[in-house]
């Protein structure tokens, strides 16, 4: 956890909502200069900030609608601080809670150097990152449709379909047989609907992937191709890791990167006693998914890597061994991107 400790003449805490802002502005002594609700509009915000723009820091909590405030502050040359929502316990722990109190607490925490900061992802790549996350949502919906077809087949105790229906070519080869294998007309209609939606998702996802890959090359071609040098990381996982990291230089150490990627857990201790591990849900869930997928694909179809993993599995068990492998790949990615070197498999398996 890192705190924002820069000193300013004025400190502005904003309790941010979709349609309104509750703004509290304090000076260095802690005296309130402005404390009022205003509409969530650019002009209204700038009008409030105008008398204090010579040296003011604006802080909002990391909620869903912070993008426009961050972009506006960037355009106007105003210092912007993004508070980490999970760490800002002072806001949620009081007896009373409302917008007026929250905005005052944010300003007070900022003035005292106690705002836990979250990374302000730059607008240039942010929209493409969000598009890729949307692409993942569509992929999960497609997977649900495929699972429904398989589960329905098992529900009626029918023979195995025999091909991978996730592949468009196999579905085309089956043709109407995929639907006619179910005797009930209503079930046939359900499966026909699933198959039609899957075809739509296939076309949509292919278009999205080509568009995002083109942007990835434009944003960071070297990083994108370096990531794909890791066995198990292809175009899709490479895009996911690239856009979730943005720049590896924002992580001061490999430990901070692994922690952000949810690849390590923190020990909970008090008075010399250990109470287990915590913090597994703090960090970037998309990076966690990407590295876990990469760990499984890293072993696929390679006897040398599988033999290396078998020794690890014998010592730790399969689940923990896969977690160790995912963290090891994450560590390798950190140093690859930092040093601009491709993946070295011999070195990876030797240590």
CB atoms within 10 A of CB 115: 28
In a domain, 71, yes or no: yes
Specify whether 298 is located in the same domain as 242: yes
- Which CATH number fits the domain that encloses residue 59? 3.30.420.40
Asked whether residue 230 is assigned to any structural domain, the reply reads no
Total number of domains in the chain: 3
Q: Are residues 239 and 204 in the same domain?
A: no
What does the pLDDT look like over 169-189, one tens digit per residue? 999 888 889 999 999 999 999
Matching residue, tokens 């076309």? 203
User: Are 189 and 242 found together in one domain?
Assistant: no
Q: Where are the alpha helices (DSSP H) in 29-122?
A: 42-49, 67-76, 89-92, 99-111
Q: In the chain, pLDDT over 70 holds for what percent of residues?
A: 100
Do residues 344 and 241 share a domain?
yes
- 292-302 pLDDT, tens digit per residue, is 999 999 999 99
Domain of 162, in residue numbers: 125-220
Write out pLDDT tens, residues 103-157. 999 999 999 999 999 999 999 899 999 999 999 999 999 999 999 999 999 999 9
191-247 per-position pLDDT tens digit: 999 999 999 999 999 999 999 999 999 999 999 999 999 999 999 999 999 999 999
Distance between CA atoms of residues 336 and 338, nearest Å: 6
Same-domain check for residues 346 and 239: yes
Same domain, 91 and 133: no
Domain-located, residue 8: yes
DSSP assignment letter at 114: -
Clarify whether residues 247 and 342 are in a common domain: yes
């Amino acid at each position: 956890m890192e705190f924002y400790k820069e000193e300013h003449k004025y400190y502005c805490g904003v309790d941010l909502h979709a349609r309104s802002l509750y703004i509290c502005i304090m000076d260095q002594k802690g005296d309130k200069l402005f404390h009022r609700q205003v509409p969530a509009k650019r002009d209204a915000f700038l009008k409030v900030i105008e008398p204090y723009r010579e040296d003011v820091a604006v802080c909002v909590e990391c909620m869903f609608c912070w993008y426009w405030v961050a972009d506006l502050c960037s355009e106007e040359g105003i210092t912007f601080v993004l508070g980490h929502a999970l760490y800002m316990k002072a806001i949620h722990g009081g007896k009373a809670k409302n917008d007026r109190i929250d905005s005052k607490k944010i300003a007070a925490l900022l003035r005292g150097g106690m705002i836990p900061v979250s990374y302000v992802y730059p607008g240039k790549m942010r929209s493409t990152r969000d598009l890729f996350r949307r692409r993942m949502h569509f992929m999960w919906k497609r997977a649900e449709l495929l699972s429904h077809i398989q589960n329905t087949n098992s529900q009626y105790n029918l023979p195995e379909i025999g091909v991978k229906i996730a592949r468009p070519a196999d579905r085309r080869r089956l043709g109407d047989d995929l639907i006619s294998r179910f005797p009930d007309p209503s079930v046939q209609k359900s499966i026909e609907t699933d198959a039609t939606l899957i075809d739509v998702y296939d076309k949509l996802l292919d278009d999205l992937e080509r568009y995002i890959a083109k942007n990835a090359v434009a944003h960071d071609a070297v990083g994108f191709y370096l990531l794909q040098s890791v066995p198990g990381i292809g175009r899709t996982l490479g895009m996911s890791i690239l856009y979730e990291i943005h720049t590896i230089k924002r992580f001061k150490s490999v430990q901070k990167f692994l922690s952000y990627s949810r690849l390590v857990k923190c020990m909970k201790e008090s008075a010399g006693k250990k109470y287990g591990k915590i913090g597994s849900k703090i960090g970037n869930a998309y990076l966690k998914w990407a590295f876990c997928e990469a760990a499984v694909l890293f072993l696929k179809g390679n006897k040398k890597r599988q033999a290396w993993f078998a020794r690890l599995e014998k010592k730790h068990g399969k689940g923990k061994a896969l977690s160790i492998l995912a963290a090891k790949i994450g560590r390798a990615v950190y140093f690859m991107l930092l040093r601009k070197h491709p993946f070295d498999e011999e070195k990876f398996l030797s240590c």
